[in-house]
Every structure is written in C-alpha cells, then in structure tokens.
Amino acid sequence: MLTFSAAQLESVAQAIFAAVGAPGDIATHVAHSLVESNLMGHDSHGVIRVPNYVLRVEQGRIVPDARPSILRETSTTAVVQGNWAYGQSAAKYGAEVAIRKAREANVAACAIVQCNHIGRLGEYAVMMAREGMIGMVVTGGFSSPFNGVAPYGGVGRALGTNPYAFAVPAGTREPVVADFATSIVAEGKLQVARAKRSQLAEGLILDSQGRPSTDPEDFYQGGMLLPFGGHKGYALALVADLLGSRLGGAEILGEAPHTVGTFILALRIDAFRPLDEFTAAVDGRLGEIKTVPPAPGFQEVLIPGEPEARSRALRLQEGIPIPEETWDKLVETARKYGVSTLPAPTA
C-alpha cells in the first residue's frame, strides 16, 4: 500500500479530468468528490474510479464538458437532464434544485436522467441536511457490465447496486447519514478487493454459473452480486430502480443498457417544527443510543455517519492508503494524456 495526502490525489485526478476535456471547475469538483470518498473510508468510490471515468469519456458515455439542465419542472418537482455529464455534476445540480424548491415550497423532489455514476450518495444528502432539511437520494437502474445484481431467487444480472442515502441534521453532532447499496456490498468494493488481489467474504457473489464464489474475478467474468437481506434487499433494490430510473423516464432518455437515474427528495424541517427544536431532539435521541452498552466484540455503539467522520479526520492527518495496482493505473492514465507531474507517496 502507498500513502498520499488528499491534496496530492485531488491534484492528480483534477489534472487527468482536465486533460480529457473537463473545464476547470468540473475537473476540480469531480476530483474533490472522489477524494472525499477516500477520506470517508469508502475507497470503492474514490480515485479508483478515475481510470473507469476516463474510459467512459473515450467511449462517449461521459461528455466531459457537459453540464446538466432542467428538462421540465413544477414549483415542487423537476426532471434534470444530466446530458451525460459527470454524474457528480448532475447530482450536485439536482440537489441544489431540490434545495431551492424546498426553501419555497417546504418539500421538493427531483429526478435525474441521462445520469452517469454519481459517486457517494451521502454527499448530496448531506448538502440538504446542511440547509436544515432531511435529504434522501436514491439511484436505480442498470449500467452494464459492472452493476449486475441478481434478484432474490434468480441467477442472472437484472439490477444495479441501487443505493440509498438519507441525511438528518443534528444540533451539536454531525448529521446522521445512512448510505448503503442494496447489494450486499457495492460493486466498487469488488474493485478494491481486485486491486489488493484479495479474496471476498463468502455470500457476496455468484459466478457466471450461479455458484457461490469468493474470487472477485468471477464477478467480472459474468458473475453477479447478491442483494443484502435476501428478499428484503431485493425489494428495496427494485423500488430504487422504479424511483431512480422509471419515474423520470431514464429508460427512455437513456441508452440501453445504460439506464441509471437518480431520485432526490428534500424535506424542509421547519415546515413540521422549529429547526432548533428538532435538532435538539435529534441530539437527545442520539445521546440515548450512545449509552447502549456495546455487544461482545464491539467497543461502542456508533451512529450512522460516525465511522466516516472518524476516517476523514484520521486520513486527513495520516494520509490515504492506495493499493499499488490502483496507483499504477492512475499513473498509466495520467501519462496517456500527458500528465507528467505526479506526486511521490508520503509513505
């Protein structure tokens, strides 16, 4: 493993995105979003994605200088057309639209179509929480060949990893952030295991013949992820598909088999009760949860979002660990596009 500072990784990613045609503000934003995921401990959504994003630019699936726009809207809703921009640009824009409308109408919903991979969903839910709102973000649909999840009881790729994220503001504490895929693990976790040349835990994937496997390569050779919680995760995945993709018409405006869409919901808290009263109540409830004695093998009960906040603080201080294979692919991509100034690892 190599270690780099957040600033070093942002600089490399930004230079690569700029080299493949992204304007400065877009390149900076996407690079920052990816590195924030690394800081949060979600390396599956960090700079490991850069080479794949560049490949999508080469394939014409990401238009590097594109910007999202509103396709149609009402006072409380909008359908945002991502225009095949970087997904982070489309999701940020969609969250901003939802926030603006919720300020005026107390509740707002936004569907995003022509949408690429948006990164870590919690980022956009927290944007709404910082504005005194409860934020919900759902991505659903199918993006071949990577996000193949089998339905419960089936052997075949039919669903994406279809994640959900919720963020609820607190008072003196950081927002409560629930951010999870409806597959047992996100596909990016398989990429991380592949880069580390390590095996997976049992029960995560099937090979192309429907047999249980712990080899991440079997997934990339036609295997499939399983939904978490059996039929329950499958049900949530299907709802995410219908909300994220079908509600806004992503399957019509998309390009088969790339029909992923995103659904965003913003609820203005002071439409229900005073914001400071609500956040004080959240703090009190979280305090009660934190007093629950830890089970054997655990040191404490954590609030959703706490592991990420602690990881961020630690990695800002000590650096971000990157597998050598991941770094080698970043270097290869950078040199392919003439980015020659690359940092040396701090460790």
**So where are the chain's domains?**
1-63+309-347, 66-183+227-291
* pLDDT at position 191: 86
pLDDT tens per residue across span 185-203: 888 889 889 988 899 999 9
267-277 mean pLDDT: 98
* pLDDT at position 146: 64
* pLDDT at position 262: 97
Percentage of the chain exceeding pLDDT 90: 90
What is the reported pTM? 0.93
Residue 90: closest CA among 178, 164, 26: 26
pLDDT tens per residue across span 71-114: 999 999 999 999 999 999 999 999 999 999 999 999 999 999 99
What's the mean pLDDT when you consider all of the chain? 95
Strands 77-81 and 107-113: parallel
Distance CA 14, CA 100 (A): 28
* pLDDT at position 144: 67
More confident residue, 256 or 80: 80
Sign of CA dihedral 62, 8, 35, 48: positive
Lowest mean per-residue pLDDT among 191-195, 251-255, 307-311: 251-255
Is a pLDDT exceeding 90 seen at residue 328? yes
Distance CA 290, CA 301 (A): 6
Contacts of 39 (CB under 8 A, 6+ apart): 6, 311, 312, 315, 316, 320
The class of domain 1-63+309-347 in CATH terms is mainly alpha
Is a pLDDT exceeding 70 seen at residue 233? yes
What are the Cα distances from residue 48, in Å, to 34, 45, 177, 285? 9, 7, 23, 37
Helices (H), 20-114: 24-39, 50-59, 87-105
Is a pLDDT exceeding 80 seen at residue 256? no
- Please identify which residue in the block is written with the tokens 């005026």: 104
Right CATH for 66-183+227-291 from 1.10.10.410, 3.30.390.10, 3.30.1370.60, 3.40.47.10? 3.30.1370.60
User: For residue 255, what pLDDT band results from cuts at 50, 70 and 90?
Assistant: confident
Is a pLDDT exceeding 80 seen at residue 293? yes
Judge whether 1-63+309-347 and 66-183+227-291 match in fold: no
Three-class DSSP category at 114 = coil
Question: CA torsion, points 96, 100, 103, 108, in degrees to nearest 10?
Answer: -80
167-184 mean pLDDT: 96
pLDDT tens per residue across span 208-225: 999 999 999 999 999 999
Lowest mean per-residue pLDDT among 207-221, 251-265, 318-332: 251-265
Is a pLDDT exceeding 70 seen at residue 145? no
Q: Are 323 and 193 in contact (CB under 8 A)?
A: no
Q: Are 346 and 5 in contact (CB under 8 A)?
A: yes
Amino acid at 212: P
245-263 mean pLDDT: 85
HSE of 78 in the Cβ direction (CA atoms, 13 Å)?
28
Helices (H), 141-254: 187-196, 216-220, 231-241, 250-253
Is a pLDDT exceeding 90 seen at residue 253? no
